[in-house]
Structures are given as C-alpha cells and as structure tokens.
C-alpha cells in the first residue's frame, strides 16, 4: 500500500479483533474525510468539539436550523472545501454537489464529493487514488 496514506483508526469507531478497527489506503482517507466533516470546528459562535484542537473540523454545524435553500447549499460547499483543504492535504476535491433530500424530518442536505488522493510532498502531486466518491448527510 502507499506509505504516504498511512494507517489509522476508521470512522465510525468500532472494535476490531483486538482493539479499535484500523485501515489504510482508500478506506483510511474516507474515514478521515468523514471525521473532518463530522467534527465541530471553532467559529465565532462555537468553541470547537475537540478541547485539545478546537479549530479542527468543519463549519457544517453552522447550517443547522437554517432554511434548506440554494444559499445554504452553496455555503455547505464552501465549508466542505475549506475544511478539506485545511485538514486533509491528501484530498483534491474535483466535484462537489449539494442537494436537498426531503424526508419526514424536514429535509436533509446531501453532499456528494468526488476527489482524488494525491501525494503532496512530491512536485506536481503524484496521484494515488482517482475519482473516489463519498456522500455526507447534514441535517440543517
């Protein structure tokens, strides 16, 4: 496997054979993206979820209790791109769509990401994985 990608815990946390489940490669990158987007990052209104690194995460939580309209979907895209650019340098977002999914709870925001995983410590960034797709649901 690619050493640059590393090895680590996967999200959601669950027990493996001996300890918490771990992964490497594509599965680890997907878990990291999920962790970044699902963690409350510090803003002017919130302290941040992780006391030891309050800025880590995204600002998607600021969209809660907001009207699920075009403006909200565009803000979600900005928050996703900013968070991944800052906290996951291996990921290069190539496509990002935000759609409203109506349900009994009043609708969710569905984010569909397509990204490449690159090795940033070499000139030009060597492509490790291309065209990974991931879906994230946010309840505004």
Give me the pLDDT at residue 1, please.
Answer: 45
- Tens of pLDDT along the chain (140 residues) come to 455 556 566 666 656 677 776 666 788 888 889 989 999 999 998 899 989 999 999 999 998 888 888 898 999 999 999 999 999 988 999 999 998 887 655 578 899 999 998 876 566 667 788 899 999 888 76
- Looking at residue 74, the DSSP 8-state letter turns out to be H
Contacts of 21 (CB under 8 A, 6+ apart): 9, 10, 13, 14, 15
CA angle 64, 67, 73 (to 5 degrees): 80
Residues 6+ apart with CB under 8 A from 91: 29, 33, 84, 115, 116, 117, 118
């Amino acid at each position: 496997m690619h050493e640059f990608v590393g090895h680590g815990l996967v999200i959601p946390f669950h027990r493996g054979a001996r300890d918490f489940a771990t992964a490497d490669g594509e599965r680890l990158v997907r878990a990291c993206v999920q962790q970044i987007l699902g963690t409350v990052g510090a803003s002017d209104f919130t302290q941040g979820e992780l006391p030891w690194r309050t800025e880590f995460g995204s600002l998607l939580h600021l969209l809660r209790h907001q009207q699920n309209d075009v403006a909200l979907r565009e803000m979600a895209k900005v928050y996703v791109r900013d968070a991944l650019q800052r906290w996951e340098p291996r990921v290069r977002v190539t496509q990002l769509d935000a759609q409203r999914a109506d349900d009994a709870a009043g609708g969710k925001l569905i984010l569909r990401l397509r990204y490449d995983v690159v090795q940033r410590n070499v000139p030009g960034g060597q492509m490790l994985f291309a065209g990974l797709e991931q879906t994230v649901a946010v309840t505004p």
